[in-house]
Amino acid sequence: MKGKIFAVGIGPGDPELITIKAINVIKNSHTIFVPKGREEGSSIALSIVKEVVDLKGKQIVEVFFPMVKTKYEEYKKEKAWNEIVESVYERLNRGENVSFLTLGDPTLYSTFFYIHRKLIERDKNIEIHLIPGVSSITACAAVSQSFLAVGNEKIAILPANYIDSYDEIFDQFETIVLMKVHVVFEKILEFLRRRNLIERSVYITRAGMEGERVIRDIENVTVDDKNYFSIIIVKK
Amino acid sequence: MKGKIFAVGIGPGDPELITIKAINVIKNSHTIFVPKGREEGSSIALSIVKEVVDLKGKQIVEVFFPMVKTKYEEYKKEKAWNEIVESVYERLNRGENVSFLTLGDPTLYSTFFYIHRKLIERDKNIEIHLIPGVSSITACAAVSQSFLAVGNEKIAILPANYIDSYDEIFDQFETIVLMKVHVVFEKILEFLRRRNLIERSVYITRAGMEGERVIRDIENVTVDDKNYFSIIIVKK
């Protein structure tokens, strides 16, 4: 097998926050796989890359990751993944290089994990490279001038869905980064009010994209600010 | 005041892992401040940037951050920082742009935090921008193909010096990233042995630099592998 697959972190959204390595890897790939979720939309990853790489002559494959709620949907997702893996595998066998785009960094909450596992199951000799990218976490920290850690401080990165069970963690850590905050925002507000941490929190949405907002009074977050690209940083 | 100061994350060490934004910001700066620690060495940050930006005609200011152990050293450090801040301030007043290089990302364990605070104390109207970079954490994750978080997993980023007090944290998190591991490596080994996590750990040193090593049997880490640019990722 001569082809290689690269999971390419393209950064948080600002085309300028792509690395030289990501650009070079995409340039040297025959096919670009672009994951397309319900909320992310393929257009974002692809439009970021188009700003800095000429994609003429490359094959673009949009792959859809369905959200799973039922057994039937689970079956459809498995089927979708297996098709992606087969499609990648065919190309690698032909000696083609493949790039699989991921927003932010491929090791942080990216769907590539599942593809990675299935590719290795398919053939353990497949050459897979992960290309790190600027994560949305540090992009949000930068735009809000929040220093995530200084000296011996500890950082916790937490999906917000389980906010109710995080009391002990909030006791132990100096910095808490809450991900996926838009779905359970009211629960987060309640939690932070109870812990007296409202004034220690900042809400950042669409860092480096159009519509970027840094909201320091998080009681004032509006419906428009609640989207997939939002995080809350709490500095105690 | 017309000049701006940029804290520029230049990534973990591989010159290709610099972002386009970092390059553009450095190109548009009159002066480049390069922090120089005992262990980091200015040569690293500067040599990374030199690979991708032509620094001809720019003023390079190497700034030294002394390690502090005594009161007298504390005084010397304060003095060194104040001199840096004055030097930056003068340049901004002349309308010059200043870049302050930081390895990795400026919000993660970077010395720029102290400069940031002092600059704001000096004059709250100074325009400061943080330019996020690829952090050594995701670079190490990528090179070792460790997925830091999938789905609803939680990540803890911890300086290893206090490893003895991390039992509860190890109970609560799926992924633990240990920083600054070279100084207390034996203590970490003891801790991970006791917790039966040796086989769940990977030691990464110099990710993306010359001498990069991924050590999956962490009992085999040698003296040569123990340096400032090392982390341990534990996936439970």
Would the CB atoms of A109 and B150 count as touching at under 8 Å? yes
List the beta bridge partners of residue A106: none
pLDDT score recorded for residue B49: 96
Minimal C-alpha gap between A126 and chain B (Å): 13
Going by pLDDT thresholds of 50, 70 and 90, the confidence category of residue A74 is: confident
Please check whether residue B14 touches A, CB under 8 A: yes
Yes or no: say if B204 and B213 are a contact pair by the CB < 8 Å rule.
yes
pLDDT per residue as tens digits for the range B106-131? 999 998 999 999 999 999 999 999 99
Average pLDDT over residues A20-42: 85
Please check whether residue A106 touches B, CB under 8 A: yes
Q: For residue B147, what are the contacts with CB-CB under 8 A and spacing of at least 6?
A: A107, A110, A113, A116, B141, B235
Tell me which of A16, A20, A235 to substitute to probe the interface with B (most B C-beta atoms closer than 10 Å): A20
What interhelical angle do A112-122 and A71-93 show, nearest 10?
A: 60
φ and ψ of B176, to 5 deg: -125, 130
Yes or no: say if A36 and A111 are a contact pair by the CB < 8 Å rule.
no
Residues of chain B with pLDDT under 50: none
Burial degree of B124 (CB within 10 A; 0-12, 13-18, 19+): exposed
In chain B, domain spans: 4-131, 136-235
pLDDT per residue as tens digits for the range A154-187? 999 999 999 999 999 999 999 999 999 999 999 9
Q: How far is residue B30 from each of residues B5, B9, B33, B131, measured CA to CA in Å?
A: 10, 17, 10, 17
**Which residues between 177 and 236 in chain B have a beta carbon less than 8 angstroms from any beta carbon of chain A?**
none
pLDDT score recorded for residue A118: 96
Yes or no: say if A119 and A89 are a contact pair by the CB < 8 Å rule.
yes
Would the CB atoms of A145 and B130 count as touching at under 8 Å? yes
d(CA A188, CA A77): 30
Nearest to A132 among B21, B138, B147 (CB): B138
Burial degree of B52 (CB within 10 A; 0-12, 13-18, 19+): middle
Yes or no: say if A39 and A134 are a contact pair by the CB < 8 Å rule.
no
Q: Which two tokens stand for residue A220?
A: 């004032």
Would the CB atoms of A149 and B109 count as touching at under 8 Å? yes
d(CA A65, CA A115): 11
Tell me which of B68, B74, B128, B150 to substitute to probe the interface with A (most A C-beta atoms closer than 10 Å): B150
pLDDT score recorded for residue B42: 56
pLDDT score recorded for residue B38: 60
Tell me which of A51, A65, A107, A157 to substitute to probe the interface with B (most B C-beta atoms closer than 10 Å): A107
List the beta bridge partners of residue B102: B9
pLDDT score recorded for residue A131: 98
CATH number corresponding to B136-235: 3.30.950.10
A4-131 falls under which CATH superfamily?
Answer: Tetrapyrrole methylase, N-terminal domain (3.40.1010.10)
Looking at chain A, which residue has its C-alpha nearest residue B20?
A: A16
pLDDT score recorded for residue A43: 73
φ and ψ of B20, to 5 deg: -60, -40
pLDDT per residue as tens digits for the range A87-107? 999 999 999 999 999 999 999
pLDDT per residue as tens digits for the range B56-81? 999 999 887 766 778 888 888 888 88
pLDDT score recorded for residue A41: 52
d(CA A107, CA B141): 7
Please check whether residue B128 touches A, CB under 8 A: yes
Going by pLDDT thresholds of 50, 70 and 90, the confidence category of residue A56 is: very high
Yes or no: say if A126 and A2 are a contact pair by the CB < 8 Å rule.
no
Q: Is the pLDDT at A153 greater than 70, yes or no?
A: yes
Give the per-residue SS3 of A207-236: CCCCCCEEECCHHHCCHHHCCCCEEEEEEC
What residue spans of B173-228 are helical by DSSP H?
185-194
Which residues of B fall within a CB distance of 8 Å from A133?
134, 138
Look up residue A174 and give its amino acid. E
pLDDT score recorded for residue B32: 97
Average pLDDT over residues A215-231: 93
Which residues of B fall within a CB distance of 8 Å from A169?
154, 172
**Residue A149 DSSP label:** B
Where would I find the beta strands (DSSP E) of chain A? 4-9, 31-36, 59-64, 98-102, 127-131, 155-159, 175-179, 201-205, 213-215, 230-235
Would the CB atoms of A130 and B151 count as touching at under 8 Å? no
Instruction: Using DSSP, state whether A121 is helix, strand or coil.
Output: helix
Q: How many CB pairs under 8 A join A and B?
A: 157
ipTM of the complex model: 0.95
